[in-house]
Amino acid sequence: MTKAIIHRASSRGVSNLSWMKSYHSFSYGQYFNPIRMQFGKLRVLNDERIQPNRGFSSTPLDNMEMVTIVLDGELKHTDTLGNDKILKRGGIQCLSGGSGVKHSELNNDAEADLRLLHMRFLPKDKGVAPQYNSCSFDLDNQKSELVLLVGADQGLPIAQDACVSWGNMEKNAECDYKIHYSGNGLYLLVIEGMVHLEDHVAFPNDAIGVWTDEETVHLKMMADSKFILIEMPPKR
């Protein structure tokens, strides 16, 4: 049995600050919706645009798993673990807040806006040692299969049975995604194009959430498409 929910682009919340505009799939910041608090252990999914030389400085994070993907621009990350990184388009980072860490996320460019995807997952265990990891990948390299970015041994480590994968595929391409952890759900967010998943079609900035008894789900591209597919445990 498969159960799906559709979150259209127009249903996302918006925070419009003087220095940042952010679109929220779930309640966050200026946006609160009691029926859009999370999807399984996925608590935050923001599409953020940050103005030059602006951002978040010395922000505390604990007992939360943060994942960031840079879509455009340059992100400067620093934290109290001693990390100091600059991530450009295609850069991805995972910060396990664990017992507590402070971090800064700033637009490192003096002229261009920074666009990033900001995700947070509730952790598998509380109070673990904070940890930071980062890498980069090619957002524009078209492949016939999904690219695993986070989790499941091959991706960047995360203190949760969760995965994040990136897709960049041509029109009419098809692929099967095998769920790594039994009982997990999936949340698809389309960045560009049009993707068919479980009898539903998602357009740019639409999302489809799926809970299924099947081990795999099938995706088909209805247009050249870029998207993320997030796997996470249920809320319980």
What integer is the mean pLDDT of 124-144? 96
Residue 140: left (phi > 0), alpha (psi -120 to 50), or beta?
alpha
What is the distance between the alpha carbons of residues 121 and 40, in angstroms, rounded to a whole number? 9
Give pLDDT, residue 201. Answer: 98
Q: Where in the chain is the domain with CATH 2.60.120.10?
A: 13-136, 147-232
Give pLDDT, residue 223. Answer: 98
Q: Which residues of 75-100 are buried (b: 16+ CB within 10 A; e: fewer)?
A: bbbbbeeebeeebebbbbbbbbbbee
What pLDDT band is residue 2 in, cutting at 50, 70 and 90? confident
Residue 98: left (phi > 0), alpha (psi -120 to 50), or beta?
left
What integer is the mean pLDDT of 175-199? 97
What integer is the mean pLDDT of 190-218? 97
User: Would you identify the CATH topology of the domain 13-136?
Assistant: Jelly Rolls (2.60.120)
User: Would you identify the CATH topology of the domain 147-232?
Assistant: Jelly Rolls (2.60.120)
3-state DSSP assignment of residue 169: strand
Reply yes or no on whether the pLDDT at 236 is more than 80. Answer: no
pTM greater than 0.75 (yes/no): yes
Phi, psi angle pair for 10, to nearest 5°: -70, -15
What is the widest separation between alpha-carbon atoms in the chain?
A: 51
What integer is the mean pLDDT of 142-161? 95
Give pLDDT, residue 191. Answer: 98
Half-sphere exposure of 36 (CA within 13 A, CB side): 20
Give pLDDT, residue 155. Answer: 95
DSSP-derived secondary structure letter, 139: T
What pLDDT band is residue 153 in, cutting at 50, 70 and 90? confident
Alpha-carbon separation of residue 161 from 69, 152, 158, 167, 219 (angstroms): 19, 8, 8, 20, 22
What is the distance between the alpha carbons of residues 93 and 111, in angstroms, rounded to a whole number? 23
